[in-house]
Amino acid sequence: MEEKQARTNKLRTAEEAIREMVPNPCPVLAVGGMHQQNAPMSLVRELIRQRVRIGRLITSPSASIQADLLIAAGLVEEIVTSYVGFEYLGLAPAFRRAVEAGTLRLVEADAPLLVYGLQAAAAGQPFATLPPGLELSDVHRAAPAFYKWTTDPYTGVPALCVPPLRPTVALIHCQQADEFGNAIFRGSVFTDRLMAMAAERTIVQVENVVRASSLYSMATQVGLPAALVAGVVEQAFGNHPCASHRYYNHDEPHLKDYVQKGGTAEGMAAYLQRYVYEPDSHDEYMLRVRTDTPDSFTSPSL
Amino acid sequence: MEEKQARTNKLRTAEEAIREMVPNPCPVLAVGGMHQQNAPMSLVRELIRQRVRIGRLITSPSASIQADLLIAAGLVEEIVTSYVGFEYLGLAPAFRRAVEAGTLRLVEADAPLLVYGLQAAAAGQPFATLPPGLELSDVHRAAPAFYKWTTDPYTGVPALCVPPLRPTVALIHCQQADEFGNAIFRGSVFTDRLMAMAAERTIVQVENVVRASSLYSMATQVGLPAALVAGVVEQAFGNHPCASHRYYNHDEPHLKDYVQKGGTAEGMAAYLQRYVYEPDSHDEYMLRVRTDTPDSFTSPSL
Amino acid sequence: MNQPLSFFTAPKKEPPFSSNELLAYNLALALRDGEVVLTGANNALPVAACRLAQLLHAPNLSFLGGGGGSVNSLVEPLVFPSCDYSYLAAEAVLPLPELIMLQGRPGFINTFFAGGMQVDQFGNCNLSSIGPDWQQPLLRGPGAASLPFMSRFGRTIIYVSAHTPRIFVPKVDFITGPGFLHGAVDFARAQQVLLADGVEY
Amino acid sequence: MNQPLSFFTAPKKEPPFSSNELLAYNLALALRDGEVVLTGANNALPVAACRLAQLLHAPNLSFLGGGGGSVNSLVEPLVFPSCDYSYLAAEAVLPLPELIMLQGRPGFINTFFAGGMQVDQFGNCNLSSIGPDWQQPLLRGPGAASLPFMSRFGRTIIYVSAHTPRIFVPKVDFITGPGFLHGAVDFARAQQVLLADGVEY
């Protein structure tokens, strides 16, 4: 019988979490967040500072700066995504430049490839099928190593399939967690919970840590149990320039600036320098943000 | 352009809902609830009173009296289930008797057949695959029309599959709904939400109706949008003798009695007579319950 | 009345609505009672149209408001980010995996709003790649998201604000969202293309 | 001390624990720190064992408490229905479809508690059908539930309170939950069978 010991505390700084829990190179990395929402940017910036090379990057059905910045930093070999862009703010500068230049291998995907691929990995299923009709799009023809056909054993007709997507590590954000890794989503869950269920290891970036004992009366709102979480990084405002549902909105002027200045390689290098490499702390990062785009970062209206 | 009109009110009595919304015979009926919890018993009893014949009954991964009573009434031709029983209270008397007598066609299933079959129906997928290893069980060999093999197009090895399960009608329970059909789960969701997403039409039995306007501040807890719900039946204590999470516990003495007396065809007929056919209202039903097993029906401890 | 109306002399008078409001109104007219509408990304105008339709003639219309999973959101004021937290003031919120699952559900999504970097005469939409070879794109777009599901929706309303030959092409370079493919014969399902100015074809 | 101890003359003294408590204690000893344990239905004793193990030597053990989806429930007092609402006083609650999904996740469930109407020498469990022909069962059991996932779990602890030849058979009539099938050679994964009295084999 083992010795009595305390339950493991999973709290880490971003620096510790990336160093201890993400292999370099990382074969398959999933990064959470959808459009401008709930992207774990503190972890993303730390990945870049530690120069973690990513064999394959898997995104949510619609990623923005959390994918674009990793590409800008030259860390991504292949991306499996159904969307990298800034919605009403424009195209993703680094993603666009890298795909057009042929320096990034793109696996053209649609949303169901990502969702059913992650589900299959979480479930241990060998593959998943797509509803008939999706084959009318050219998407599957552009990624024939991922979209494959088999025979429907019930009807004999061909069925289009997607493979399991099993991230080595998933980096996601949620609003709160306790020190053991029980994680609470205070808004949309997007594909973030699913990524954690599919990944071998998950690091959760949160706005604030809560007491474990507070969970017992609200367990149906705890979206991930500790058993699925390897590390918890507490970083208030850590999603900036993206939003954290219920906590703060995205920083629109900052993102506009990114999309515009990132349009050139020099502008992007300057952005990385000023906002990723130079700040030696999140406080220093936020000070630069507040200086460069004052009053642009606000709380949500709800 | 259509004329301006009010939004449709979906509130019905159990009698109206079954009569208007369930075809007789009903090709495929799904009934919700898990073990002794959250079974829509008022709807089940009404099905029996209206003698709705069921071509195929689909249950949650573990059903109890909501399936057994329909079988006892002689209404079920085929059942697709992974469990009908009373857990610590014993075996399901009608299910056992009917299968042993050969009067009920049983499709032997495991939990993933039900879950992935319903998911495939909800998603429009032609079929779903099972994780390797499940084929070591005899279950799939007992239901070869349901469990079939195809080829994994990524590895070339055989993969065991399950077909979509698309209920014509799903009968489920949740704690609350508004009059338009937005439905709120105040405890475990079991496979009840999934049944509603898979079914062509869903009737929800609730403990009480809430105002639509109360939902806007708690929308993440609204488990089914009105678009997935055809009818709402308000019946306080309508799950009896099963529990409604957060509202009341199961009635253990009553269920024990059912399991014991239902062990003979005569006992079962008497049960049906006393608790299903004779009471002309839910109030009359509850009066009989309170008389026959006083003090046995309590609120939950949490 | 005393002064003759003329392009040059008429008093500078704002119309009582903006062109976006006009567009939202026209989109609303295309919506029907009882429909389930998927609004996708960049959805402020479709959301305005859905809300207006609900108030005018379609009280049983349900709209899904972006990847956040809201159903029949009251979002007020309208915001541009389709996944914004303010959308969650809604009747219900579905997790994104289920929202994507339900996009494949037979008959569930009646109407979808789409657009694209290119839209062709058969209603095909391209959000992926411009240029003759998708492996060496001249312009790389954001990607497919849920656009391939267009083949399963009841109908798709394509609205495009910029009416230029660069967008309206005879044939898209890449079919991200399938319309009638190479002609109506290819694709039996009824679809509808509604331009920004309200012209249907 | 003055009186000699004898089976017949010893004062009738209750042992300081019940046999169920002894069983829970022995089950707890079989659990290891850091494990994820699935307790299934009829799970009062496994849940007691998990809670005890957490307090004794396995603070990082997580247990999934029945179809209600609770993780690390504080359920107090212990109740018999595995899906009872009182289980939701927990650290987290997973929807049942996800709980079943995660039962297939490679390496996730380390330990599962099982039983059966029949258990054979190779740890196969039968909850389906007694008799030579499953199509004409002499006794129809409740069914498989999640038992076929036994093949994917790290190990399964089989506990059976009634030690009768009717339950412990050489070969089950129907393999609902696969153990070592027809011998260890068939089934490379390590499994453990723990009897109610604590004997492991």
Minimum CA–CA partner of B158 in chain A = A126
- Candidate from D92, D104, D152 with C-beta closest to A182: D92
ipTM of the complex: 0.94
pTM for this structure?
0.94
For residue A135, what are the contacts with CB-CB under 8 A and spacing of at least 6? A160
Share of chain C above pLDDT 90, in %: 73
- Which band of pLDDT confidence, cut at 50, 70 and 90, is reported for residue A123? very high
CB contact under 8 A, A220 and D102: no
State yes or no: pLDDT of C194 exceeds 60. no
Q: Which residue of chain B is at minimal alpha-carbon distance from C72?
A: B225
Judged against a pLDDT cut of 50, whether residue A285 lies above it is answered with yes
| pLDDT value at residue D198 | 32
pLDDT band of A159, cuts 50, 70, 90: very high
C 131-170: CB under 8 A from B: 152
The mean pLDDT of A114-135, rounded to a whole number, is: 97
Separation of alpha carbons C55 and A207, rounded Å: 38
**C-alpha span between A3 and D166 (Å, rounded):** 40
pLDDT at residue B48 tops 60: yes
Q: What residues of chain D, 10 to 39, have a C-beta less than 8 Å from chain B?
A: none
Which chains does chain A touch, 3 or more C-beta pairs < 8 A?
B, C, D
**According to the model, what pLDDT value does residue A296 have?**
75
Are C151 and A61 within 8 A, CB to CB?
no
User: What's the N-to-C CA distance of chain B in angstroms?
Assistant: 52
- Tens digit of pLDDT for each residue in C141-180? 999 999 999 999 999 999 888 889 999 999 999 999 999 8
% of chain C beyond a pLDDT of 70? 85
A144 touches chain B (CB under 8 A): no
Say if residue A76's pLDDT is above 70.
yes
Mean pLDDT of D179-188: 71
User: D128: which 2 tokens?
Assistant: 């389906």
Q: Which residues of B touch D66 (CB under 8 A)?
A: 35
Mean pLDDT (chain C) is 87
The confidence score (pLDDT) of residue C183 equals: 77
Burial class of residue B210, CB neighbours in 10 A (0-12, 13-18, 19+):
middle
Most A CBs within 10 Å: which of C74, C82, C84, C181, as the mutation test of the A interface? C84
Contact flag B148-A154 (C-beta cutoff 8 Å):
yes
Rg, C-alpha atoms of chain D: 18
CA distance linking residue C97 with residue A111, whole number of Å = 9
Convert B82-94 to b/e letters by CB count within 10 Å (16 or more is b): bbbbbbbbbbbbb
**Tens of pLDDT along C81-131?**
999 999 999 999 999 999 999 999 999 999 999 989 999 999 999 999 999
- Say whether pLDDT at D111 is over 90: yes
Give every CB contact of residue C4 below 8 A, 6+ residues apart in sequence.
none
Reported in sequence order, the residue ranges of chain A that DSSP labels E, i.e. its strands, are: 11-12, 26-31, 54-59, 76-81, 105-108, 128-129, 148-151, 158-162, 169-177, 183-184, 201-209, 222-224, 231-234
Chain A closest-CA separation from residue B20 CA (Å): 31
Among B60, B99, B133, whose Cβ lies nearest the Cβ of D151?
A: B133
Nearest-angstrom CA–CA distance, B132 and B116:
15
Chains sharing 3 or more CB pairs under 8 A with chain B: A, C, D
B246 CB neighbours in chain A (<8 A) are none
Q: What is the least distance, in Å, from the CA of B243 to any CA of chain A?
A: 18
pLDDT for C190 beyond 60:
no
Tens digits of per-residue pLDDT, D112-154?
Answer: 999 899 999 999 999 999 999 999 999 999 999 999 999 999 9
- Quick one: which H or E segment has residue D198? none
Comparing C-alpha atoms, which of C40, C34, C99, C105 is closest to residue C66? C40
- B256 in Cβ contact with B269 (< 8 Å): no
| Residue B137 confidence (pLDDT) above 90 | yes
B·D CB contacts under 8 A:
180
Cis peptide bond N-terminal to A241, omega within 30: yes
Tokens of A189: 């869950």
When computed from its CA atoms, the radius of gyration of chain A, rounded to whole angstroms, is 19
Q: Which of A110, A191, A195 to mutate to test the interface with C (most CBs of C within 10 A)?
A: A110
CB of C111 within 8 Å of a chain B CB? The answer is: no
Give the integer Cα–Cα distance in Å for D177 and D180: 10
Q: What is the pLDDT of residue A12?
A: 98
Task: Spell out where chain C has E strands.
Answer: 36-38, 62-64, 70-71, 92-93, 111-114, 118-120, 125-126, 129-130, 139-140, 155-158, 168-169
Residues in chain C: 201
Whether B74 has a pLDDT exceeding 80, the answer reads: yes
- Structure token digits, residue C166: 């660069």
CA distances from A295 to A272, A291, B20 (A): 22, 9, 58
Residue D12 pLDDT grade (very low, low, confident, very high; cuts 50, 70, 90): low
Mark yes or no for CB contact B108/D85 under 8 Å: no
Is the Cα torsion angle B229, B233, B236, B238 positive or negative in sign? negative
Phi, psi of A175 (to 5 degrees): -75, -40
Beta strand segments in A97-167, E:
105-108, 128-129, 148-151, 158-162
Phi, psi (deg, nearest 5) at residue B175: -75, -40
- The angle formed by the CA atoms of residues C99, C103 and C109, to the nearest 5 degrees, is 110
Q: Which of B110, B114, B161, B218 to mutate to test the interface with A (most CBs of A within 10 A)?
A: B161
Taking CA–CA distances from A221, the nearest residue in chain B reads B221
Task: Determine the pLDDT at residue C160.
Answer: 87
pLDDT, position C40: 86
Contacts with A, C 42-81, CB within 8 Å: 42, 44, 66-69, 77, 80-81
Q: Is A47 helix (H, G, I), strand (E, B) or coil?
A: helix
pLDDT at A298: 73
Q: Is the dihedral of CA B135, B140, B144, B147 positive or negative?
A: negative
Contact B151 A151 (CB under 8 A): yes
Q: Which residue of A has its CA nearest to D95?
A: A220
Residue from the list C32, C91, C104 with its beta carbon closest to the beta carbon of B225:
C91
Instruction: Give pLDDT tens digits for D44-75.
Output: 999 999 999 999 999 999 999 889 999 999 99
Instruction: Closest CB to D93: pick one of A180, A197, A220.
Output: A220
Of C74, C98, C106, the CB nearest to B216: C74
The answer to whether residues B206 and B245 touch, using CB atoms and an 8 Å cutoff, is no
| Chain A residue numbers touching C145 (CB-CB < 8 A) | 61-62, 82-83, 110-111
Range with lowest mean pLDDT among C15-19, D23-27, D101-105: C15-19
